[in-house]
Chains A and B, each alone.
Chain A
Amino acid sequence: GESVGLHLPTLSVQEGDNSIINCAYSNSASDYFIWYKQESGKGPQFIIDIRSNMDKRQGQRVTVLLNKTVKHLSLQIAATQPGDSAVYFCAEIPIIQGAQKLVFGQGTRLTINP
């Protein structure tokens, strides 16, 4: 069945360093992927998305990389700031199913050391 997982449950980085959060997925039919950030007491906030016809997509301080060969997704955050502390979820959608049923990973907690 579908499953989305994360390699590390927690990640601790120094302020100013780059962060890399990884995600593995198992459904080959998934062709749309999203990264969400969830701060304490809030709902998941959309960060960036990527479709399966792309390998890389950049946003403001964030980059998502997609490796379809090994079914791997990563989120890179440049110059990590204290405000980046949150839980990050990757999610996948097989658009061909018609209904958008996001499958979320368990999440990675990112903590920033001053």
Chain B
Amino acid sequence: DSGVTQTPKHLITATGQRVTLRCSPRSGDLSVYWYQQSLDQGLQFLIQYYNGEERAKGNILERFSAQQFPDLHSELNLSSLELGDSALYFCASSVPAGGSPLHFGNGTRLTVT
């Protein structure tokens, strides 16, 4: 168990809808990262937050947004969903120090129909 908790585990929704994915980082970790993993694809970095502030952005669509709350949990909001957004979405967290491994949750599987 990595200590990173993601909810829900599965999500099925229709095109055009909006969903929110939730992540609780490991105790003590200030950084939260969101990754997308499509079928048979590697992990694509979306966005990083550090202690409530956006720190780095990757290949995140404008339809997607995220935030990190004062209690350090994070939410990833996906709107105007398209079929191609179906994927596994992972959250990871790490300690503030550079050169530390990211610890991943078990993901949310999003299916857009």
Q: Which residues of A contact B (CB under 8 A)?
A: 31-32, 34, 36, 41-46, 49, 51, 89, 93, 95, 98-107
Contacts of B102 in A (CB 8 A): 34, 46, 100, 102
Verify B105–A49 contact, CB threshold 8 A: no
Verify A44–B90 contact, CB threshold 8 A: yes
| B56 contacts partner chain A, Cβ-Cβ < 8 Å | yes
Q: Which residues of B contact A (CB under 8 A)?
A: 2, 4, 6, 31, 33, 41-43, 45, 48, 50, 55-56, 58, 90, 92, 94, 98-107
| Cβ contact of A99, chosen from B55, B103, B106, cutoff 8 A | B55
Contacts of A49 in B (CB 8 A): 101
| Cβ contact of B56, chosen from A44, A51, A95, A99, cutoff 8 A | A99
Q: How far is the CA of A100 from the CA of B104 in the complex (A)?
A: 14
Given contacts A43-B104, A43-B106, A44-B90, contact A98 B98 (CB under 8 A): yes
Kindly provide the distance from the CB of A19 to the nearest chain B CB, expressed in whole angstroms.
20
Contacts of A51 in B (CB 8 A): 99
| Cβ contact of B99, chosen from A36, A41, A95, cutoff 8 A | A95
Kindly provide the distance from the CB of B41 to the nearest chain A CB, expressed in whole angstroms.
8
Verify A105–B45 contact, CB threshold 8 A: no
The 3 closest A-B pairs by CB, nearest first: A43-B104, A99-B56, A104-B43
Can you list 16 contacts pairing A with B, beta carbon distance less than 8 Å?
A36-B104, A42-B106, A42-B107, A43-B6, A43-B105, A44-B43, A44-B92, A46-B103, A89-B43, A93-B99, A99-B56, A101-B48, A101-B56, A101-B58, A104-B42, A106-B41
Contacts of B45 in A (CB 8 A): 101-103
Verify A43–B42 contact, CB threshold 8 A: no
Verify A41–B106 contact, CB threshold 8 A: yes
Closest partner residue, chain B, to A105 (CB atom): B42
Verify B104–A45 contact, CB threshold 8 A: yes
Closest partner residue, chain A, to B106 (CB atom): A43
Closest partner residue, chain A, to B100 (CB atom): A100
